[in-house]
Amino acid sequence: MKQNESSITSLISAFGRAYHCQYDTPLIFDDYIAKELITPHEFSDIGENMIQGIHFFNPDMAHQLKDDPDTILKWITQVQLSPITLARAAYCEPVLLHEVALGLKQVVILGAGMDTFALRHPELEDTLELFEVDYPATQQFKKERLHQAKLIIPGNLHFVPMDFTREPSYESLTNGGLEKLKTLVTLLGVSYYLTKENLSNLLRHVFSGLPTGSSIVLDYADEHLFEEKGRFNRVENMVKMAAMGGEPMQSCFTYEEMERLLADVGLLIYEHLSPEDIQERYFSNRTDDLSAFETNHFIHAVKK
């Protein structure tokens, strides 16, 4: 990502969550704040760009739906844009809230983008410290959007600037206020864009000062990422879109590779959801086009 630009993927992800809240039912994940972080003009522009790009997504659907732009946008959003961001949020948040119920005091959100957890849970302001870690430009963009939407940054939300492709440091987090307490780390929508070396380095540094019992929730793409086409070519489209947006995908893993990478930094897998598991848990019995991505996996891993 260019350092003077906000992350395109974070904006598209917020659009997918915002659209879902307004137009889909039943909800997989209710991020009712997401739409506040996108201007009406941006929301319209992103939607229009998607509609105009229907031939890129699927020429057959472009012909079939050519006279119905609203249906085109719903189809693109449900098939391409929303499934991963909705499912990973729906997986992560109950894990986080369960940990809070057990006494968790700190959460580190790596690659926070336009995350809205702090805003949706004001009841936790006095009991849970949240550290959003991302590129400085992305954080500045988010702060501006919060200001424009007249949303107050909660007192327990701390912004820690970091470039994951350079030398990350635990000190950056402690300087931001992180203490040596049991911590939940989240890394959602990030692993794809890092080299395996950068991902390992990031996790090693972040967990270096965290105590036993701290854990991470992350998603990753499996070894089929760069060869799988997916339903309506959506996996192939996702890879192409990331490259076109200036944020090319870098890494995919077999389960065994991810298990080893995590073990090397002292983490043991507690739970793993395959694409089939994600489909069953979050998308079964739907009558619309939302379904689990073919190459996406979720993991909850705990520090030994």
Each residue of 172-213: pLDDT tens digit? 899 999 999 999 999 999 999 999 999 999 999 999 999 999
Instruction: Please count the structural domains in the chain.
Output: 1
Query: Are the beta carbons of 90 and 282 closer than 8 angstroms?
Result: yes
For 263-276, write each residue's pLDDT tens digit.
999 999 999 999 99
pLDDT tier for residue 1 given thresholds of 50, 70 and 90: very low
In Å, how far are 39, 78, 114, 286, 289 from 35, measured between CA atoms? 8, 17, 10, 24, 22
Q: Please state the rounded mean pLDDT for residues 131-154.
A: 94
Question: In what side-by-side order are the strands of the sheet with 267-273?
Answer: 157-161, 129-134, 106-110, 183-187, 215-221, 296-303, 267-273
For residue 239, is it within any domain? yes
Q: Are strands 106-110 and 183-187 parallel, antiparallel or unpaired?
A: parallel
Query: Are the beta carbons of 18 and 38 closer than 8 angstroms?
Result: yes
pLDDT tier for residue 169 given thresholds of 50, 70 and 90: confident
Q: Are strands 157-161 and 129-134 parallel, antiparallel or unpaired?
A: parallel
Can you give the residue range of the structural domain that contains 272?
83-303
- Using alpha carbons, select from 300, 298, 296, 299 the residue that is nearest to residue 249: 296
For residue 294, is it within any domain? yes
For residue 24, is it within any domain? no
For residue 268, is it within any domain? yes
Q: Are strands 267-273 and 296-303 parallel, antiparallel or unpaired?
A: antiparallel
Query: Are the beta carbons of 280 and 267 closer than 8 angstroms?
Result: no
In Å, how far are 75, 179, 250, 265 from 209, measured between CA atoms? 45, 9, 27, 12
For residue 28, is it within any domain? no
Q: Would you say residue 283 has pLDDT above 80? A: yes
Q: Would you say residue 245 has pLDDT above 90? A: no
The confidence score (pLDDT) of residue 2 equals: 46
Greatest C-alpha distance within the chain? 58
Q: Would you say residue 35 has pLDDT above 80? A: yes
Q: If DSSP codes are grouped into helix, strand and coil, which group holds residue 221?
A: strand
Q: How far apart are CA 66 and CA 182, in angstroms?
A: 53
- The separation between CA 85 and the C-alpha centre of its own chain, rounded to angstroms, equals 6
Q: Please state the rounded mean pLDDT for residues 20-46.
A: 96
Query: Are the beta carbons of 112 and 189 closer than 8 angstroms?
Result: no
Query: Are the beta carbons of 269 and 31 closer than 8 angstroms?
Result: no
Tokens describing residue 165: 């492709």
The confidence score (pLDDT) of residue 80 equals: 97
The confidence score (pLDDT) of residue 4 equals: 42
Element (H, E) at 267: strand 267-273
pTM, full prediction = 0.95
CATH code at 144?
Answer: 3.40.50.150
The number of helices, as runs of H, and strands, as runs of E, in the chain is 13, 7
For residue 23, is it within any domain? no
For residue 233, is it within any domain? yes
Average pLDDT, the chain: 94
Which residues lie below 8 Å from residue 241, measured CB to CB, with a gap of 6+?
none
Would you tell me the crossing angle of helices 196-207 and 255-264 to the nearest 10 degrees?
40
Tokens describing residue 33: 């704040």
Q: How far apart are CA 53 and CA 12, in angstroms?
A: 14
Q: How far apart are CA 190 and CA 88, in angstroms?
A: 12
For residue 227, is it within any domain? yes
Query: Are the beta carbons of 33 and 93 closer than 8 angstroms?
Result: no
Q: If DSSP codes are grouped into helix, strand and coil, which group holds residue 164?
A: coil
Query: Are the beta carbons of 76 and 151 closer than 8 angstroms?
Result: no
pLDDT tier for residue 165 given thresholds of 50, 70 and 90: confident
Q: Would you say residue 122 has pLDDT above 80? A: yes
